């Protein structure tokens, strides 16, 4: 073999993984044919190395046998290495992609596992749903609350219901609803008592969850946020 290509040291130190080894062999062949003075004998010897490698790994290479025409043999050898290069690339890309996918999936699962949540008990979560449905009906049926206030309350109620899940990252829409409800309750007073009672109960449940998550021992009673 031409000096500097497919050396004994190179061949003896190929990776144990067959596809990684084939990748290295094909790169070395590409390096060989890149020079303009590559001889026919170099192509044949590279071909012999490819076949010998397959035999040594108990994986015979399915390559075309050589014929009597040098130009056709060079083409066949080049195609054989090209096929091996494509097969090696496909297998390594698949395996490396699966490895990255597995590694990164585990990595991001750890990230999500550390995410902070507000978590409601099954009982509290079910009660919240009941309270929100009841408030929706009471707001719609109210003869006292103006149409504009109803609209604003219902918008915030729907947004809050969409936000509150058994495990919830954010409760900003809860505070938005509480703020709007506080305005209505203070404006219309005792006449909104059925709504007020449910808002207060809802607030107690949610604030208890906030306190548990944040490690806060006490927050103002929800009634102090809503009533004069």
| pLDDT-above-90 percentage for the chain | 48
What confidence score (pLDDT) does residue 35 get? 86
Residues facing 168 on adjacent strands: 118
65 DSSP assignment: P
Q: What is the pLDDT of residues 188-227, one digit of tens each?
A: 876 788 888 999 899 888 888 888 877 776 555 655 555 5
pTM of the full predicted structure?
0.51
| pLDDT-above-70 percentage for the chain | 91
Q: Which of 53, 39, 41, 56 is nearest to 81 (CA)?
A: 53
Tokens representing 44? 């044949």
Q: What is the pLDDT of residues 44-76, one digit of tens each?
A: 999 999 989 988 887 766 667 888 999 999 999
Q: Which of 36, 53, 49, 47 is nearest to 70 (CA)?
A: 47
What confidence score (pLDDT) does residue 217 get? 64
Average pLDDT of the chain is 86
pLDDT tier for residue 159 given thresholds of 50, 70 and 90: very high
**Contact residues for 75 (Cβ-Cβ < 8 A; gap 6+):** none
Distance between CA atoms of 157 and 153, rounded to whole angstroms? 6
What confidence score (pLDDT) does residue 26 get? 95
Rg of the chain over all Cα atoms, to the nearest angstrom = 37
Q: What is the greatest pairwise CA distance in the chain?
A: 106
């Amino acid at each position: 073999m031409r000096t500097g290509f497919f050396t004994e040291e190179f061949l003896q130190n190929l990776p144990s993984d067959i596809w990684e080894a084939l990748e290295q062999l094909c790169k070395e062949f590409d390096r060989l044919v890149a020079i303009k003075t590559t001889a026919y004998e170099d192509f044949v010897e590279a071909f012999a190395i490819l076949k010998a490698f397959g035999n040594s790994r108990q994986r015979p290479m399915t390559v075309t046998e050589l014929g009597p025409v040098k130009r056709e043999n060079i083409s066949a050898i080049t195609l054989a290495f090209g096929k091996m290069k494509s097969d090696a690339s496909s297998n390594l890309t698949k395996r490396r992609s699966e490895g990255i996918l597995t590694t990164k999936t585990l990595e991001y699962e750890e990230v999500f596992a550390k995410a902070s949540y507000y978590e409601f008990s099954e009982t509290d979560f079910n009660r919240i749903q009941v309270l929100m449905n009841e408030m929706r009906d009471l707001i719609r049926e109210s003869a006292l609350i103006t149409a504009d206030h109803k609209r604003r309350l219902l918008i915030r109620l729907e947004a809050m219901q969409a936000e509150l899940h058994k495990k919830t990252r954010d409760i900003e829409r809860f505070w938005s609803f509480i703020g709007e409800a506080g305005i209505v309750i203070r404006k219309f007073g005792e006449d909104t008592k059925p709504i007020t009672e449910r808002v207060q109960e809802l607030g107690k449940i949610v604030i208890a969850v906030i306190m548990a998550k944040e490690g806060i021992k006490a927050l103002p009673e929800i009634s102090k946020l809503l009533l004069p």
